[in-house]
Amino acid sequence: MDKSISKKKKLLTPEKAASFIPVLISSIISILVIIFFVMPQYYKSKKVGLELNELTRKKNELDKLKSQYKIINKKFEKLNKEKSMIIELITGKSKLETLLSRLGEIGQKNNIKFKSIIPKKLSKAGEDSAKNKNIRNLNNRKAINKLNLKLDPLLVEGTRKYEFDFSFETEFANLVAFLRELEFQDNVILIDNINIKSTSQSGKKNEIDNPTEMLEVEMRLVFYGVI
């Protein structure tokens, strides 16, 4: 017993206690510093690192999006130019009044005697598609076939279609020359319907005996213009 007590006394000497207490205190302080300062700073720096990585990723994506935007913008500009060219090809540069005046000049040049010019219909781009959309909503197939609406491929966005009924008298040779000149106008001009009758008194009213006899012509012309 005396020996064990003496050993314990030797282990808990004042010198050893004086050196152990500062180590213990410094360890506790170190642990507290790690818990309350180092760890929060570590997690904070880790969060900042993740945010930095995310910002770097977004910056790289932004650079890619800018490149894609430039490519898309170039394609869009190209499409706009092509669209403008198509519209100009269809409608030309002449207004409706100018075109009708030119038709009058062409008619006078080819000895066309106009009897009447009647505007029949004005169509804008998008009207046909809206009508066809309404038709697709119908369940009755017979109603769809009855309406039989067709899209006009030349009636594109930014254009309108004019339909006029013309009635005039002329000789066959002059009629051919008149129609030929219509083909060379800068506007697209379509003949939707034409009815030709002879005005001779020979009893064969609907037959053309020679190219110089007078003809009675009824035709519908379709013009395209810019909105």
Q: Residue 15's pLDDT band (boundaries 50, 70, 90)? A: low
pLDDT-derived band of residue 5, with 50, 70 and 90 as boundaries?
very low
Q: What pLDDT was estimated at residue 53?
A: 84
Percent of the chain with pLDDT over 70: 74
Q: Pick the range with the lowest mean pLDDT from 120-129, 167-176, 192-201.
A: 120-129
Closest to 107 measured CA to CA, from 194, 164, 167: 167
Summarize the confidence of residues 195-203 as an average pLDDT: 71
Residue 203, pLDDT score = 45
Q: Is 18 helix (H, G, I), strand (E, B) or coil?
A: helix
pTM of the entire predicted model: 0.56
Whole-number pLDDT of residue 150: 59
The confidence score (pLDDT) of residue 20 equals 66
Q: What percent of the chain has pLDDT over 90?
A: 16
pLDDT in tens, 96-119: 788 888 888 999 999 999 999 999
Residue 34: is its pLDDT beyond 90? no
Enter the tokens of residue 167. Answer: 């009635």
What is the distance, to the nearest Å, from the Cα of residue 86 to the centroid of all Cα atoms in its chain?
14
Give the mean pLDDT of the chain: 76
Average pLDDT estimate for 76-94:
82
Q: Which of 204, 214, 100 is nearest to 168 (CA)?
A: 214
Tokens of 47: 């969060």
Q: Does 28 have pLDDT greater than 50?
A: yes
Identify which has the larger pLDDT, 141 or 215. 215
Cβ neighbours around 99 below 10 Å, total? 21
Write a three-state SS string for the chain. CHHHHHHHHHHCCHHHHHHHHHHHHHHHHHHHHHHHHHHHHHHHHHHHHHHHHHHHHHHHHHHHHHHHHHHHHHHHHHHHHHHHHHHHHHHCCCCHHHHHHHHHHHHHHCCCEEEEEEEEEEEECCHHHHHHHHHHCCCCHHHHHHHCCCCCCCCCCCEEEEEEEEEEEEEHHHHHHHHHHHHCCCCCEEEEEEEEEECCCCCCCCCCCCCCCEEEEEEEEEEEEEC
**Whole-angstrom distance between the N-terminal and C-terminal Cα of the chain?**
118
Question: What confidence tens digit (pLDDT) does each residue in 155-186 have?
Answer: 877 788 899 999 999 998 899 999 999 888 88
